[in-house]
């Protein structure tokens, strides 16, 4: 007879299966006795550093980045402290795996690689009982929620519920780059259906089998979620992420005044790109007020950047109208000009009086911009002719190909440097390897939002600010630009090394928190030393002692 009694899962086994408390082979002899772990682990006690070596060996032996991603997610599910130690000690190597570009591939394959639930799902079926359901989340001190509805995942379009990889990845960066405690982070997917035929026809798709809803039903679900989040987790910061652009602008406008909420695609991208332009001024010796930017793509990212750029020019004394005239847009319908037909509200301020031009290359010739910024999700659109035209009218043309993932970038780093004979100041959204041209080596900067959102979030969370303002993003941009070293600039890089990111985030957080204290956005008393207060909060991936 087989004994049918269920196994006792409450002994040492339980702690080994809890990713927050699990230390694997690093439990000490005393802990093994106290926690009833004897026999459940191999006898040798390893240090965390030795465990890190084992993990690195495994990751590096994997044949593809997607395999590396799967390995890392499995580690995150098993032992969170070790996962963050590996990520933080090897950020430049790991970031492209846990975030763009690999996370994009993971989202595209999500229904096939799915193993274990991670993050929280709310769907249309949950309307009316969202608050009750959200209480199923195991952690009660949630300080930040990253929420997506999967409609515009990176530059990859509608991936429905399979977009869950994005909030998971973003929150891993909050922890790694700014020390937000992992148990205070909640990745959340609002499943409102998908218009992606391939997913709807795939029997393994994990989301609702229905087309996207819009209008009242959508708004009610979103509002129910925000209300429940605020009630269950008072003061929680909500980051809306990878929404389609109609909902993104609308929801931001609707909620930002009375909810601690921001949109990284609009505001975070705005700050990181403007920081790159500000730092580029230190190479060209020009002023921001002398810049004319031509954007390819007038969506969340493009308009978000223009809005922060206008705020920066206004801070320097320029009128709003004049500042807006420094920003020009070509979108899928050509040059954005007044009278071009019906123009979405977020683009309206940038529809200038000018003759209509259909083509981006012709717009470059006509407008002679000092900078072109690609945020169209259309690869190969910064052609050789366009980069040569930029190099003809600028000694140091600013060329940022910011579309993600790498496959969608408007041009590669090598193309930008080669076609401009090494004069381009180049940055991209996803990382590119250094480029050798003659005897010079160029290190392209990555205009990665991870330089901005973790620091802004950290400042908001620690100061307990009730709102997130545009001025906080401008302050973050200026702080980031000021942290680019002369050595970075010499190598052509307009962003600091990623390895300094914890320090970058802490300094951004200091400026953001200061704004919250100065403007009365918080009831918390200003600490004597804001930076020390921030450092005190920041999570470090070390094992606690249990005996």
- Write out the catalytic residue numbers: 99, 170
The DSSP H or E segment spanning 390 is helix 384-393
Q: How far is the CB of 87 from ligand NAD (least distance, A)?
A: 19
55 in contact with ligand NAD (CB under 6 A): no
403 in contact with ligand NAD (CB under 6 A): yes
Assess whether the previous peptide bond of 101 is cis (omega < 30° from 0): yes
d(CA 455, CA 537): 13
Quick one: tokens of 132? 């009750």
375 in contact with ligand NAD (CB under 6 A): yes
Cβ burial of 109 (10 Å; 0-12, 13-18, 19+) is middle
Q: How far is the CB of 480 from ligand NAD (least distance, A)?
A: 12
Q: How far is the CB of 460 from ligand NAD (least distance, A)?
A: 20
Q: What are phi and psi of 371, to 5 degrees?
A: -145, 140
397 in contact with ligand NAD (CB under 6 A): no
Segment interacting with ligand NAD (CB under 6 A) among 34-42, 152-160, 436-444, 463-471: 152-160
Quick one: tokens of 303? 């308009």
Quick one: tokens of 516? 């919250």
429 in contact with ligand NAD (CB under 6 A): yes
Give CA 116 to chain center in angstroms.
23
Of residues 179 and 405, the one with the C-beta less far from ligand NAD: 405
CA distances from 305 to 66, 142, 311, 322 (A): 31, 30, 10, 16
336 in contact with ligand NAD (CB under 6 A): no
Q: 183 with 139: CB under 8 angstroms?
A: yes
Residues 154-173 that bind ligand NAD (CB under 6 A): 154-155
Give CA 350 to chain center in angstroms.
26
229 in contact with ligand NAD (CB under 6 A): no
267 in contact with ligand NAD (CB under 6 A): no
Number of Cβ within a 10 Å radius of residue 465:
25
Segment interacting with ligand NAD (CB under 6 A) among 42-50, 59-67, 165-173, 265-273: 265-273
Of residues 299 and 496, the one with the C-beta less far from ligand NAD: 299
Q: How far is the CB of 295 from ligand NAD (least distance, A)?
A: 9
Residues 340-369 that bind ligand NAD (CB under 6 A): none
455 in contact with ligand NAD (CB under 6 A): no
Q: Tokens 């200091």: give the residue.
A: 510
272 in contact with ligand NAD (CB under 6 A): yes
Of residues 24 and 299, the one with the C-beta less far from ligand NAD: 299
Cβ burial of 112 (10 Å; 0-12, 13-18, 19+) is exposed
Say how many Å lie between the first and final Cα of the chain, rounded. 40
Q: Could you give the angle at which helices 65-78 and 80-89 cross, rounded to 10 degrees?
A: 140
Quick one: tokens of 329? 């847009």
Of residues 103 and 301, the one with the C-beta less far from ligand NAD: 301
208 in contact with ligand NAD (CB under 6 A): no
Give the per-residue contact string, 295-334, with ligand NAD (x = CB under 6 A; - = no).
-xxxxxxx---------------------------xxx--
176 in contact with ligand NAD (CB under 6 A): no
Q: How far is the CB of 304 from ligand NAD (least distance, A)?
A: 8
d(CA 93, CA 73): 15
Residues 498-537 that bind ligand NAD (CB under 6 A): none
d(CA 378, CA 217): 32
245 in contact with ligand NAD (CB under 6 A): yes
449 in contact with ligand NAD (CB under 6 A): yes
Q: How far is the CB of 330 from ligand NAD (least distance, A)?
A: 6
Give me the residue whose beta carbon is nearest to ligand NAD: 299
CA distances from 438 to 396, 397, 421 (A): 18, 20, 10
Q: 211 with 194: CB under 8 angstroms?
A: yes
Return residues touching ligand NAD (CB under 6 A).
152, 154-155, 245, 265, 269, 272, 296-302, 330-332, 375-378, 402-404, 408, 429, 447-449
């Amino acid at each position: 007879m087989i004994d049918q009694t269920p196994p006792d899962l409450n002994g040492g086994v339980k702690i080994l299966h809890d990713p927050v408390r699990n230390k694997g082979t690093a439990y000490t002899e005393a802990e093994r006795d106290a926690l009833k772990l004897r026999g459940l682990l191999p006898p040798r006690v390893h240090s965390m550093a030795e465990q890190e070596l084992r993990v690195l060996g495994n990751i590096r032996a994997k044949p593809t980045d997607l395999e590396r991603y799967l390995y890392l997610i499995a580690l995150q599910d098993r032992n969170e402290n070790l996962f963050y130690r590996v990520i933080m000690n090897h950020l430049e190597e790991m970031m492209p795996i846990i975030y763009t570009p690999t996370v994009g591939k993971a989202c595209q394959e999500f229904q096939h690689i799915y193993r274990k639930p991670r993050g929280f799902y709310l769907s249309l079926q949950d309307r009316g009982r969202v608050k009750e359901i959200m209480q199923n989340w195991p952690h009660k001190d949630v300080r930040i929620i990253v929420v997506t509805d999967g409609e515009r995942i990176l530059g990859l379009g509608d991936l429905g519920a399979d977009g869950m990889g994005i909030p998971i990845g973003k929150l891993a960066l909050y922890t790694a780059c700014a020390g937000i405690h992992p148990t205070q982070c909640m990745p959340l997917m609002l499943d409102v259906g998908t218009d992606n035929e391939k997913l709807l026809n795939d029997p393994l798709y994990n989301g609702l089998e229905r087309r996207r809803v819009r209008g009242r039903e959508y708004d009610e679900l979103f509002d129910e979620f925000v209300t429940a989040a605020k009630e269950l987790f008072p003061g929680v910061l909500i980051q809306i992420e990878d929404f389609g652009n109609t909902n993104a602008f609308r929801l931001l406008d609707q909620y930002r005044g009375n909810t601690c909420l921001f949109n990284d695609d609009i505001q975070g991208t705005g700050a990181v790109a403007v920081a790159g332009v500000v730092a580029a001024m230190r190479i060209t010796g020009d002023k921001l007020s002398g810049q004319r930017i031509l954007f390819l793509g007038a969506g969340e990212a493009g308009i978000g950047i223009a809005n922060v750029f206008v705020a920066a020019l206004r801070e320097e004394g320029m009128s709003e109208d004049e500042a807006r005239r420094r920003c020009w847009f070509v979108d899928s319908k050509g040059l954005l000009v007044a009278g071009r037909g019906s123009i979405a509200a977020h683009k309206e301020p940038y529809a200038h009086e000018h003759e209509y031009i259909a083509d981006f290359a012709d717009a470059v010739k006509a407008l002679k911009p000092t900078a072109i910024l690609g945020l169209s999700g259309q690869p190969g659109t910064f052609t050789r002719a366009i980069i040569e035209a930029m190099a003809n009218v600028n000694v140091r043309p600013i060329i940022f190909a910011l579309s993600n993932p790498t496959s969608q970038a408007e041009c590669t780093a090598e193309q930008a440097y080669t076609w401009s004979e090494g004069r381009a100041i180049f940055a991209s959204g996803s990382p590119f390897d250094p480029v050798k041209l003659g005897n010079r080596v160029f290190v392209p900067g990555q205009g990665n939002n991870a330089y901005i959102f973790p620091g802004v979030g950290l400042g908001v969370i620690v100061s307990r600010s009730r709102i997130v303002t545009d001025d906080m993003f401008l302050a973050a941009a200026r702080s980031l630009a000021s942290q680019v070293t002369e050595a970075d600039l010499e190598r052509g890089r307009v962003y600091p090394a990623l390895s300094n990111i914890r320090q970058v985030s802490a300094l951004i957080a200091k400026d953001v928190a200061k704004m919250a204290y100065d403007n009365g956005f918080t009831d918390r008393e200003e600490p004597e030393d804001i930076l020390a207060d921030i450092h005190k909060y920041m999570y470090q991936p070390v094992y606690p002692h249990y005996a």
